Amino acid sequence: MEIFLLPKINMQQDDLAKIALKQEEHEFYTPMPAGYQKGRTKFVVVVGTVMSGLGKGIFSSSLGKLLQDNGLKCVPIKMEGYLNLDSGTLNPYRHGEVFVLDDGTECDMDLGTYERTLESDLTRDSFITSGQIFSKIFEKERKGEYLGRDVQIIPHVTGEIKWHLRNLAQKSGADIILVEVGGTIGDIENSHYIESLRQLNYEEGESNVCFVALTYIAQPNTLGEQKSKPAQLGIRLLLEAGIQPHLVACRSEKPTSEKVREKISIYTNVPMERVFSMHDVESIYTIPQLLNEVHVDDEILRILKIKKKKNAESSSWHAFASKLGKKSQKVTIGIAGKYTDLRDSYASIIKALEHAGISNGVAVEIDWIDVTEIERNKKKPFDLLAKIDGLIVPGGFGKRGAEGKIACVRFARENKIPYLGICLGFQMALIEFARNVLGLEDAHTTEIDHKTPHPVVCILPSQKNIKGLGGSMRLGGRDLHILGKSQAFNIYSGKKKIRERFRHRYECNPEYIKKFEEKGMIFSGFAPKEEGEIMQILELPDHPFFIGTQFHPEFTSRPLSPQPLFVHLVATAMKRKG
């Protein structure tokens, strides 16, 4: 197959005309990253059928973990069909938590699942949206890089997607690129991804691409038996798109019966040993073991003709998973937010608490506190917080729920309840302290009240002239310094410099720092001098655990390396409970 590469824009007019003519003669359009070699990196593609919400991200990351245990370097990528350039402006009710990578990319929550499971930091190359792809297409068209061609979904959009996949393979040096396609087969918004992957399989050649279909096995209560027809019809759509799955993962409440697996095997041309059950389990951390028991990794290695490398060290993960369900003591941590109806809005916080609970040998139960209910019904925080052992006020934006959060902060401070304020929770702690300790009754943040006489929280200087919302905040991993002889210093094991991830526009107003300190508040974490006087951690020394962080510590918590702030929050909550 002849490959047409994009020309340089400064070529002579005659040369451009010749290439344009050449392009008229051929339909192949496959821009390749420099130095790319077919077959060096393999691709495993996970596509959903029947319905969304089956846990493709959890399944894909578990599959990646299993392949890691075979000594292979796996790098994931999530393909989203929406036209947003990133996830930054999405409402959590629409799409769950916005996860932030170290390089500042605001992305889908599934990338958080990949980072936690694969124990590795990802980059913006592991996340693409249709908006990103189309933006690149439009930019190239305006520059004349398509040389008079009518720009089309095929071959130009599909070519751009294939280039992105191969570029990730080239830059990462991965043995396997794990591709998760958002949505389900049949969705209009991901059809160009499906077509691109069909072409990728055609171009890369035999044994270089493996397709896994994640499907749903229905079991209506009125029938009491598993039905395979929805799964058959869903996979048929995949076949109609020109993709023959190599494996079929059957999501079901109970283990998928052999009879159902036989039906799916017959109707999808997939051998029985490659149709396996992905039934509900007690914990997602045991899924890699479940996949290993049905030899999914062996089948994939056989399909891709990959020899096992020296086995990676997986005993730590198994040791972690073995601790699940063996905790007799329980502690209750309240999460006071305004998106409590959708748990995915706080996915990373939930996972960080799980990691901290296992580290402390306890089960962490979450009490969801709707701060808008406190505002709307004028409920006293005592009615909702009386039974908790610790409190988290998470990040967020906007006016709704702010007064409810401030009321919760006050209750935690005055009643010595272990408290962790994250991002907005850090700012709400400043406002509460200013109002009730400094005596500044009208203290507020300029995000909510532009005319407040006491703007203890104000916009960052670097944000004042920014007009757009998407991708314009103070984002990603940044270094910060820790004050010696502070609680934060002890929590971070005596480190004077750490790195955490940020997502904010507002900060503690530097004009009020001394006033806070005069009343006992300690700012134990702060930005490097070259970034300005930005406070990153606050704490109260006369409290068992009262800490606010401008950063999001939940984004860096991993099963095998739980985030220290969450570990100490849970440990202090245990002491409080007694």
Residues taking part in catalysis = 423, 552, 554
Complete DSSP assignment for 167-203: HHHHHHT-SEEEEEESS-TT-GGGHHHHHHHHHHHHH
Token pair, residue 175, equals 């043995």
DSSP-assigned letter for residue 227 = B
Angle at 169 (CA atoms; ends 165, 174), nearest 5 degrees? 140
**Rounded distance, CA 302 to CA 308, Å?**
10
Q: Indicate left, alpha or beta for 290 from its phi (over 0: left) and psi (-120 to 50: alpha).
A: alpha
**Rounded distance, CA 229 to CA 199, Å?**
28
Instruction: Using alpha carbons, select from 209, 290, 226 the residue that is nearest to residue 262.
Output: 226
CA 553 to chain centre: 14
CA 54 to chain centre: 16
**Rounded distance, CA 128 to CA 161, Å?**
9
Residues with Cβ within 8 Å of 125's Cβ and at least 6 positions away in sequence, in order, are 77, 164, 167, 168, 171, 172
DSSP-assigned letter for residue 23 = H
Complete DSSP assignment for 531-563: G-S-EEEEE-TTSSSEEEESS-GGGG-BTTB--
Residues with Cβ within 8 Å of 420's Cβ and at least 6 positions away in sequence, in order, are 390, 391, 392, 393, 545, 547, 548, 549, 565, 566, 569
CB contact at 8 A, 515 and 535: no
Residue type, 183: G
